[in-house]
Structure 1
Amino acid sequence: MAQITALGKNPNLNVLLGNLSELVELHLDGVNISAHGAQWCQAISSSLPKLRVLSLSTCNLSGPFDSSLLKLHSLSVIRIENNNLSTQVPEFFSNFTNLTSLRLSSSGLYGTFPEKIFQVPTLQTIDLSGNSQLQGSLPEFPKNASLQSLVLNGANFSGQLLPNSIGNLKRLSKIDISTCNFTGPIPRSMGDLTQLLTGQINSPHWENLTNLVNLDMRHNLLDGTIPPSLFSLPVLQKLQLANNQFSGQLLGFATISVLDTLDLSSNHLEGPIPMSIFNLRELKILSLPSNNFSSSFPLNRLQQLKNLSALDLSYNRLLFKK
């Protein structure tokens, strides 16, 4: 048997897995296992030596993680979301040399997240969202890093957002760090991509992020100006920078863009709204309230945004004209 997907209630893992030593994928999401850390970890590690995929979301599991999991030398995917683990994340997760996906969202994690886990060269996806007591910061990333998706929203990460080595994340396509505690600024002298999501993001290196699809940095303390090159990223669809401290004018930009969501609300942006916004032909959501935008705004040009479904320009100092 190559994999097992089970639906049911309160299975005895030792009985269920006892004769399945060839299993490489285990999906028990939604099954009420109701076991503490040593029980479920040891049952799996002793029975499934070839396991590559472990998916136990919403299983009523508790912690802590047991080191017996290290027996699973081929483990690549760990998905243990929406549980009540109430534990810390052990540093031994960084010893899974084949790890590609680590999803631990909304599982009651606390303490400091080990930086070494971010540095696993094969890691492509990490989701720690919804763990409000989980603290941490981002480390130096290794060369040839594989990270594609970084989701930390609602976790208590803080400090310098991205290190100098962010330029090593050439495959990065999704970043969600909303409702964290990152602050800025950082030095502008950093190399390629180093200003991706931190402090002052007015860097010329944004144009290198050619795989970025979704950039969500809402509810932080990021400041400085917003670089025009953001609007020209070839596959960027959602740009969400609301509830920060960005200031200065929003400059005109080239409009080779597939952007469908632009949310810059609740910042300190000022001056006129650039007319190049009307060339964002895929735009569905335009949200610019609670800034200091001024000057006139040509309502008639909104007709150019054929796909627009939500518009918010409230609490600015705009003069509307036909």
Structure 2
Amino acid sequence: MLFLLPFLLFIFFPNLSQSTSSELCHPQDKAALLSFKHSFSNPNPFPSWDPLFDCCDWYGVTCNDTTNLVISFTIISQTLNGTIPPSISNLKHLQILRLHKIPNLVGQIPLEISKLSNLTSLTISWTNISGPLPSFLVNLKNLVFLDLSFNRLSGSIPPSLATLPFLRGIDLSRNQLTGQIPESFGHLPKTAEFPALVLSHNKLSGEIPSSLSNVNFSFIDISSNTLSGDASVFFGEGKATDTIVISRNHFEFDLSKVGFMHFLITLDISHNKIYGNIPKHITDAVFLQQLNVSYNRLCGEIPTGWKLRYRKDGWDNSSFFHNRCLCGVPLDIPCK
């Protein structure tokens, strides 16, 4: 009867021989993924990860079309329980790692992450990962985007992160980070063109580094901290920044002396101690769609002649509320 076994397997499982013989996934990658799976306490966290089938077809796994090596790994799960396993470092050719919306993912970012030298994008977000923001991330020399938002990370921001040669986007928002923004962030490598910096909703404090004026940021959001000093370093007519959100801090500077970018889309400087008047040349920002200068110490007449009309979702009179002595449309305070 033993000689009939292959025949019977073919009859009752016609796809078995086809799936195993045509498998493209590299054995090392498959072993690494199965080790990742078995490190969690869930009975069967990834049902589609059947060892009988090609791991390039598994949920969350993407292989290179030519080499068939695993280059992208994305997990989104409301039920996964445990920590990031060290076996993640065995996916040696990984370029994109995304662990997103996993509320039961706990522990710290493991050192093994730093061994993924081919990573260009690292996302660990909306989890309960805690502990320090590790300085060993500086070993990821090819990193372009770093998103560690919506976690429970604490401690200071390592100044060495600013040495990553290709970093173009860093999002550390919604954590419990403390200390100052490192001065080194004003000396990013020239290869890191038009970077985006998002540090909002943390516990950062201290004066904003003047060195940040050297960087042509594309996007800035450092709102909801207790930062102080002169945040006019982010402004300048020749810069390419389209979003500046510095609200809910303790910034003090003269807005009337600020130059505005031509491509500015969003400007929120509310809930600070910013003074002076709103300069007329702000109306030259033809793409401006969202504006909020409320809860400051501004005075003078609100400029007229905006290139775009007031938008319901962009700004209205509430965008100018609670200033020292602003007047004019759209406020109901006439200018004398």
In the superposition, the TM-score normalised over structure 2's length comes to 0.73
- Which residue is 1:196 aligned to? 233
Structure 2 distance, partners of 1:66, 1:120, is: 19
Counterpart of 1:273 in structure 2 is 302
Which residue matches 1:292? Answer: 324
Map 1:238-249 to 2 at 5 A: 238-249=266-277
CA distance in 1, matches of 2:177, 2:114: 25
C-alpha distance in 1 between matches for 2:50 and 2:164:
29
Q: For residue 17 of structure 1, report the CA deviation from its aligned partner.
A: 10
Is the partner of 2:161 in helix, strand or coil?
Answer: helix
CA shift for structure 1 position 31: 5.3
Q: Which aligned pairs between 1:76-91 and structure 2 lie closer than 5 A?
A: 76-91=120-135
CA distance in structure 1 between the aligned counterparts of 2:77 and 2:154, rounded to whole angstroms = 23
Offset from partner CA, 1:229-266 (integer Å, 9 cap, x none): 544x2211111110000112223226332111221000
Distance 2:87 2:130 in 1: 20
What amino acid does structure 1 have at the position aligned with 2:233?
L
| Superposition map of 1:177-192 within 5 A | 177-185=222-230
What is the number of residues matched between the two proteins?
A: 276
Aligned partners of 2:158 and 2:182 also within 8 Å? no
Mapping of residues 35-184 of structure 1, within 5 Å = 35-37=82-84, 40=85, 42-46=86-90, 48-59=91-102, 60-140=104-184, 141-144=187-190, 145-146=192-193, 148-164=195-211, 166-167=213-214, 169-170=215-216, 172-184=217-229
| TM-score computed with the length of structure 1 as normaliser | 0.75
SS at match of 2:100: coil
Q: Structure 1 52/273 Cα, relative in aligned 2: closer, same or farther at 3 Å?
A: same
Taking the aligned partners of 1:81 and 1:230, their CA distance within structure 2 comes to: 35
In structure 2, stretches of 5+ residues that fail to align are: 1-23, 31-36, 57-67
Whether contact under 8 Å (2:89, 2:116) holds in the other structure is: yes
Determine whether 1:28 maps to 2:71: no
* Equivalent residue, structure 1, for 2:241: 212
Structure 2 vs 1, CA of residues 92 and 155 (structure 1 numbering), >3 Å: closer, same or farther?
Answer: same
Residue-by-residue CA offset, 1:168-196 (whole Å, 9 max, x unaligned): x33x211001111211148xxxxxxxx42
- Does structure 2 retain, via aligned residues, the 8 Å contact 1:261–1:283? no
Tell me which structure has the larger Cα radius of gyration.
2
Q: Which digits, 9 at most, give the CA deviation of each residue in 1:216-237, with x for residues without a partner?
A: 0101111121146544x22111
Q: Is the 8 A contact 1:259 1:283 kept in 2?
A: no
Extract unaligned runs of 5+ from structure 1: 187-194, 198-204, 300-310
Which residue pairs with 1:261 in the alignment?
290
Q: SS at 1:44's partner residue?
A: helix
Evaluate the alpha carbon distance shift between residue 142 and residue 237 of structure 1 in structure 2; reply closer, same or farther with a 3 A threshold. Answer: closer
Larger proportion of helix = 2
Distance 1:64 1:229 in 2: 42
Report the 3-state secondary structure (helix = DSSP H, G, I; strand = E; otherwise coil) of the residue aligned with 2:276.
Answer: strand
Residue 75 of structure 1 and its aligned partner are, at CA, apart by 1.2
Q: Matched residues in 2 for 1:219 and 1:154: separation?
A: 9
CA pair 294-134 structure 1, distance change in 2 beyond 3 A: closer
Aligned-partner Cα distance in 2 for 1:166–1:143: 14
Aligned residues: CA RMSD = 3.2
CA gap 1:228/1:133 in 2 versus in 1, 3 angstroms: closer
